[in-house]
Amino acid sequence: MNDDLALSLTDAELDELDLFLRRHNSDDGPLLDGVHGLLTALLIGPERARPDEWLPEVLREPFADAAEGSRILSLLARLSDSIPLEIEHERYEPILGEVDADDGGSALSAAGWCHGFAQGINLRAEFWELRLEQDAELMRLLNPVVVLAIESGALETDDSVAALDDAEYDSYLAQLPETVGALAEYWRVHPPTTREQAATGSASSIEFRVPPGRRGGRWLH
């Protein structure tokens, strides 16, 4: 494995972080898929956020002790550091939720990841919304995330949108790694302009929500 990618959490470490989040964020805080979406949006977007900006979105309760705090913060830091490296080496995969399906089996859900991604956008909403108003290319690149968010119930819309069948949903899921890479490249090539930086503070946020019944299952990576 490339030395850079050694930062990536092992499955056991992801399980550990997942368990912590399920114990402490059982009501409305993000689970592992949501945290991954949040960090992804911040790390590929127009301006990175400091840990003290996004940690309150992730950690809703105090740690049991200093050892637990040190361990969880270390895992979150490594998860954050690994995302741009995985994108650079074309190894990025979104962490998705697995939920009960109508047929009694299980199905992948992007709802949590999309909700987290929207939280990341909202922390830099001014830059995203100003650019979305001006550049249709950014909206085109963001479209797979928007489609999945609407389908999963994580994004409310006033428009009547036809439901995706299973094959279409899976197709959009498969586009997420490429979509994330393309968005990262977009903001790298087209960073916020001086005018956009001066205009921040006036934009609204993109309203995403986690629908009821979508918090069960396990994460998949």
Measured distance CA(151)–CA(99) in Å, rounded: 14
Residue among 42, 59, 49 nearest 121 (CA): 42
Could you confirm whether domain 3-212 is CATH 1.20.950? Answer: no
- Predicted confidence pLDDT, tens digits, the chain (221 residues): 455 666 789 999 999 999 999 999 877 789 999 999 999 999 999 998 999 999 999 998 899 999 999 999 999 999 999 999 999 999 999 999 988 877 878 888 999 999 999 999 999 999 999 999 999 999 999 999 999 999 887 777 766 678 899 899 999 999 999 999 999 999 999 999 988 888 775 445 555 444 333 333 334 44
Degrees to nearest 5, angle at CA 170 with 156 and 129? 35
Q: What is the pTM of this model?
A: 0.88
Which residues have CB under 8 Å from 174's CB, separation 6+?
A: none
Which residues have CB under 8 Å from 103's CB, separation 6+?
A: none
Do you know the residue count of the chain? 221
Full strand arrangement of the beta sheet holding 106-109:
106-109, 96-100, 219-220
Measured distance CA(106)–CA(124) in Å, rounded: 34
